[in-house]
């Protein structure tokens, strides 16, 4: 999965000036025409690239040199800018390469034009990426619900799936972080860096009991329930399957830090979620 992402970088640095310029302008041109049209009309190529990027970010347990840079930018984005900082930095990287090639004799006006055209593409990619994931998430849960004999089995599958993703994601996110001396520091990492990367915001509330073995995390605007609503006449208003995956994420992340735990959740008002982490010892 990493190879397709590595190739563009190699091409940028190795191919001659003229060819690189044309490639860059072509790509940016696509983005430009996209922004001129209806925002919701998406070129397939852009979607494919963004989706591949997202999948790579989630599924790569062993980062190569390119991914190490992404790790840094993601950690920074966790602390400073929610959301697209990582992608922005990648775009900046492309711009820097173009600037370097400019020193080899390219004309100044072309350089300026390229930099200007990069902006809308970046914004568009971010929107597309978020929407793609939301639709994928809906279909994933629908598929698991239908392929399970009962609700309990579906929840177990979702929990296991979330565990795997959380376990691997936290490996990548914590690369540039100092070791956690205490359990509370690991939980704080989940509340800030991890939550910002996955849900674009920090946890709204963190409570702990006196002994320190139980933590209650409150997210008052849970990202993945923001667009969910029921038919007015629906008798069954249970949407817990759309949160079970997240409980698995937390469980997997904490497990990778060395803390075995049980994670339960409670959906209170519309889109308010409370996650309870109990450490096993």
Partner 1 sequence: MTINSIYILNKAGTLIYQNDFGNTEKLSHNSYIRLGSTFHSLHAIASNLSPVSGSSSGIEVIETEAFKLQCFQTHTGIKFYVIADPNHQQLEELLHGVYELYTDYVLKNPFYEIEMQIRCDLFDYKLNRLLGVRE
Note the residues at the interface with partner 1 (CB under 8 A).
Answer: 38, 40-41, 131, 134-135, 138, 141-142, 227-234, 239, 242, 270
Q: Which is nearer to partner 1, 138 or 267 (CB)?
A: 138
Comparison of 209 and 229: residue with beta carbon closer to partner 1: 229
Residue 123 CB, shortest distance to partner 1, in Å, is 16
Q: Which is nearer to partner 1, 135 or 176 (CB)?
A: 135
- Rounded to a whole number of angstroms, the minimum distance from the CB of residue 205 to partner 1 is 24
What is the nearest approach in angstroms of partner 1 to the Cβ of residue 39? 9
Smaller CB distance to partner 1: residue 40 or 280?
A: 40
Closest separation in Å from C-beta 120 to partner 1: 18
Q: How far is CA 2 from CA 49, 58, 96, in A?
A: 12, 11, 21
Q: In what order do the strands lie in the sheet with 273-279?
A: 205-208, 214-219, 273-279, 261-267
Pairing of strands 273-279, 261-267: antiparallel
Report the C-alpha gap between 56 and 44 in whole angstroms.
18
Contact 99, 113 (CB under 8 A): no
To the nearest 10°, the Cα dihedral for 241, 143, 83, 253?
Answer: 60
């Amino acid at each position: 999965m990493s190879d397709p992402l590595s190739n563009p970088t190699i091409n940028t640095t190795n191919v001659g000036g003229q060819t690189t310029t044309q490639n860059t302008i072509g790509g940016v041109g696509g983005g430009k025409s996209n922004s001129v049209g209806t925002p919701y009309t998406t070129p397939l190529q852009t979607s494919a690239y963004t989706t591949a990027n997202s999948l790579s970010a989630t599924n790569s347990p062993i980062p190569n040199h390119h991914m190490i840079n992404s790790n840094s930018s993601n950690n920074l984005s966790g602390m400073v800018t929610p959301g697209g900082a990582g992608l922005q930095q990648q775009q900046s990287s492309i711009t820097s390469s173009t600037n370097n090639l400019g020193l080899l004799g390219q004309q100044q006006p072309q350089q300026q034009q390229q930099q200007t055209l990069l902006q809308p593409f970046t914004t568009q990619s971010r929107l597309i990426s978020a929407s793609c994931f939301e639709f994928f998430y809906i279909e994933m849960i629908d598929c698991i619900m239908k392929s399970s004999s009962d609700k309990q089995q579906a929840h177990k599958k979702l929990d296991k799936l979330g565990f795997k993703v959380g376990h691997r994601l936290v490996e990548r996110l914590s690369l540039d972080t100092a070791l956690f001396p205490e359990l509370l520091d690991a939980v704080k990492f989940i509340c800030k860096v991890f939550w910002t990367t996955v849900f674009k915001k920090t946890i709204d509330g963190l409570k702990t009991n006196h002994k320190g073995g139980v933590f209650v995390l409150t997210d008052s605007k849970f990202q993945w329930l923001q667009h969910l609503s029921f038919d007015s006449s629906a008798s069954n208003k249970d949407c817990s399957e759309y949160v079970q995956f997240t409980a698995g994420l937390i469980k997997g992340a904490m497990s990778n830090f060395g803390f075995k735990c049980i994670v339960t959740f409670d959906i209170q008002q519309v889109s308010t979620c409370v996650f309870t982490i109990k450490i096993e010892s």
